[in-house]
Structure 1
Amino acid sequence: MVAVGGGDAENMWGPYDGPGWPAHDPVVNADKLPRIPMYITTATGIPGPYDTLADPRIDNDVTDLALQLVLGGGIEAATHYCTTQLADRTNALGMNNIRYNFKPAGTHSWGYWEDDLHDSWPMIAASLGV
């Protein structure tokens, strides 16, 4: 995805086969994650209720919908895969401070993010003491 925007992902942590990538991998380093409340959510990338021409964020724009489905669907499918790996690892470590929310449908787009913010807010508010 970085390359789609003209970037070079190796600018983040060096060559893919170098030590920087595993050093920044949350699955590899799950045992080092803080034991604070965390809310981690993902969908599958399969179109959901916000992935329609009628959604106000799409506003009947076929190009916007196509981008949301193709790019947003691909990004969310990738994050779903990574989040599943992280959940497996943290669960194996007995880390019960993390609330995972795996949704059966949805792309990487604002409507789902808004829902997730509302869903996660009680946990965030409690952590902040508000």
Structure 2
Amino acid sequence: MTTSRVWLAVVCAIVAALVPATATADPGAQVAGEVGLGGRAAQIDVYSPAMGRVIENKVIKAAGAGAPTLYLLTGAGGGSDGISWWDNTGVRHFFADKFVNVVMPVGGAFTLYTDWISDDPGVGRVRWETYLTQELPGVIDRTLSTSGRNAIAGVSMSAASALDLAIQSGPRFSAVAAMSGCPWAADPLGIAMASAQAVRGGGNPGNMWGLPGGPVWQQHDVFANAGRLAGKTLFLSAATGVPGPADRGLPMPPVEAIAGTCTAAFAGRLGQLGIPATYLHRPTGSHTWGQFETDLYEAWPHLAAAIGA
């Protein structure tokens, strides 16, 4: 065989090898399906390349194009358990006349909505930070013709996650609300509290952020990295755990009392750094959806002003 024929054979082999890979290339984050839920509400399913699966999102659409977006995260069960803003509050009615798209992802139970460094036998492939800060916003912006301005809010487990996601994603979110949660630090107490969430879901905390107190834990220490929240609109709220008039459902006084202590500490940290924040410490409230809903509506004017809603 001549030299030219050898090279021709090599080129043909390379092309043959590349064609199947091109044909099966990852299409990127995109809408995988949409179902109307009445009015301007819809379930928009989005394929996440990072996690290799489709994620369900409950969405309340704004009345027209050019509206900003509020990403609203739920508690420890991720909404897959039927416990969420969508299921347990009147957000659909509250935001019906607001010029904002409200996106409520379903899933992420006990994951802290972060990127885990390793796949886990208990919770699988977890890349929620990538999904929430890169994949989903891009799809929502294209699909709903948004303004590109975003806020994020979390409650209970996701309160600290909302702060962390705002820190990790730079300018993606210009406003953050953290309600009845426990912002964590990479100290023994913070490590124990964050790890407990992963363990509740059957996951190994070592697969989440690696060696306790190590570099990845330090990266997600919201106290140490609080300075990166400067310039954003911040709303923090928690209560004492004493049942009050806003409560609905089963009161959980110890949980809210802990959240109140954690939130007060983080508010103090922001104060030390000279970072403005609205901090609401309620004299009553016991970690119920009635309390969470009341605090969200209290937070909304602050978020709206920041994103132009």
Tell me, yes or no, whether TM beats 0.5. Answer: yes
Contact 2:242/2:285 (8 A) holds in 1:
yes
Q: Which residue of 1 aligns with 2:232?
A: 36
Other structure's SS at 1:102 match: strand
Specify the code of the residue in structure 2 equivalent to 1:75: V
Other structure's SS at 1:100 match: strand
Contact 2:238/2:259 (8 A) holds in 1:
yes
Larger of the two Rg values belongs to structure: 2
Other structure's SS at 1:77 match: helix
Specify the code of the residue in structure 1 equivalent to 2:290: G
Q: Which residue of 2 aligns with 1:49?
A: 245
Q: Which residue of 2 aligns with 1:61?
A: none
Contact 2:256/2:287 (8 A) holds in 1:
yes
1:4 corresponds to 2:200: yes
Distance 1:41 1:11 in 2: 30
Unaligned runs of 5+ in 2: 1-195
Distance 2:200 2:288 in 1: 17
Q: Relative contact order (C-alpha < 8 Å, sep 6+): which is higher?
A: 1
Q: Which residue of 1 aligns with 2:303?
A: 124
Shift of 1:104: 1.9
- After superposing the two structures, state which structure 1 stretch, 85-94 or 10-19, moved more: 10-19
Other structure's SS at 1:116 match: helix
Q: Which residue of 1 aligns with 2:279?
A: 100
In the alignment of these two chains, the number of paired residues is 113
Contact 1:27/1:85 (8 A) holds in 2:
no
Contact 2:236/2:267 (8 A) holds in 1:
no
Distance 2:206 2:281 in 1: 29
Spell out, residue by residue over 1:24-65, the C-alpha distance to the aligned partner (whole angstroms, 9 max, x if none).
1111111122311111111123333355xxx4xx3xxxxxx2
1 or 2, which has the higher strand percentage?
2
Q: RMSD over aligned Cα, in angstroms?
A: 2.2
1:111 corresponds to 2:307: no
1:25 corresponds to 2:211: no
Normalised by the size of structure 1, how large is the TM-score?
Answer: 0.71
